[in-house]
Amino acid sequence: MGLFTPNGRNGRGGGLFHKLTHGFTASIFEGECIANYGESRGVGIRIENLHKSFNGNHVLRGIDLEILPGEIFSIIGPSGTGKSVLLKHIVRLERPDSGRILIDGNDILEPPRPEARDYRYSMVFQSSALFNSLSVGENVGLWLREKRICNEGRIRRIIRDKLRLVGLEGKEELRTSELSGGMRKRVAIARSLAMNPDLLLYDEPTAELDPVTSDELARVIMNLRAKVDLTTIIVSHDLNFALYVSDRVAMINEQGIVEIGTPSQIKASQNPVVRNFIYTTTKGIKGEE
Ligand SMILES: Nc1ncnc2c1ncn2[C@@H]1O[C@H](COP(=O)(O)OP(=O)(O)O)[C@@H](O)[C@H]1O
Ligand SMILES: [Mg+2]
């Protein structure tokens, strides 16, 4: 599904997972939603000297990164360089061999400090992973209904609001199987937004999109950041897309991080590895230098 709340705890009043695993009664629905469904706030992320090998294949070789609260941060590089593996570490689908990841100062593999605020995160997978037997609205509301986060009236309003945020207002009844690739991606984003994530991660968001729908997606991602307080991490080999949407970009290759900077700093970089990646990605134009 790509929807997560870490640690089974809830800094805003009460242990959602405790309630889910131990059952809860109607009294929790006194309000429209149980306590965990609050406003989002972008989290800060710090990755320190992260190493990961698979059977002797040393994929992550000492990654250091700092991502600021509210930032749109892209990690770009050729395929096979560990971008997806890095993303999986941030959402705890992989464990590092060494090094650590801090979110708002808390090591994500350590028990949370009592005063730590909880955060919610959600990943938009490359495949979109929608349920074709369900309508657009049902896909977006799936997590809320399954976990019984809110009452039905509130869920309908949340679905409407999230669809509006991705430019699909009023499309609740459409069948998912009738959608174009770009629309599927936007439904997948709306579904991730249903939980009000503080951190939203995208793995290769433009992989199956043509240039026009990639542009639309870029606008959706930027519009979201303007309207919602969240931190965005994008992993992509699509350099143009990353330069267009990001506040900052980190370029990685087999050796590790090559360069970190704003899109204009990356474009102006004199680092031969960066220049070569830009050249091979954009190819240049025949006849021009
Ligand atoms: N679960 C795994 N087991 C073994 N090898 C893996 C696993 N996940 C990724 N790898 C390897 O790690 C390397 C980086 O993979 P990946 O992060 O998917 O690259 P990217 O996303 O940059 O294209 C590849 O060589 C891949 O085969
Ligand atoms: Mg990948």
The pLDDT of 183-199, averaged and rounded, is 93
Is the minimum distance from the CB of 63 to ligand 1 under 6 angstroms?
A: no
What percentage of the chain exceeds 90 in pLDDT?
63
Contact 202, 232 (CB under 8 A): yes
CA of 204 from ligand 1 middle (Å) equals 14
206-254: per-residue pLDDT in tens? 988 888 899 999 999 999 999 999 999 999 989 999 999 999 999 999 9
* Confidence (pLDDT) at 288: 60
85 lines ligand 1 (CB under 6 A): yes
Which ligand is closest in space to the CA of residue 58? 1
In this prediction, residues 138-160 reach a mean pLDDT of: 90
Q: Ligand 2 (ion): which residues have CB within 5 A?
A: 84
pTM here?
A: 0.86
Which residues contact residue 136 at a Cβ distance below 8 angstroms, ignoring those fewer than 6 apart? 163, 168, 171, 172, 173, 174, 175, 176, 179, 187
CA of 82 to the centre of ligand 1 (A): 6
Among all ligands shown, which has an atom nearest to the Cα of 76?
A: 1
pLDDT digits (tens, 9 = 90+) for 58-77: 999 999 999 999 999 999 99
**Residue nearest (by alpha carbon) to ligand 1 atom 20:** 80
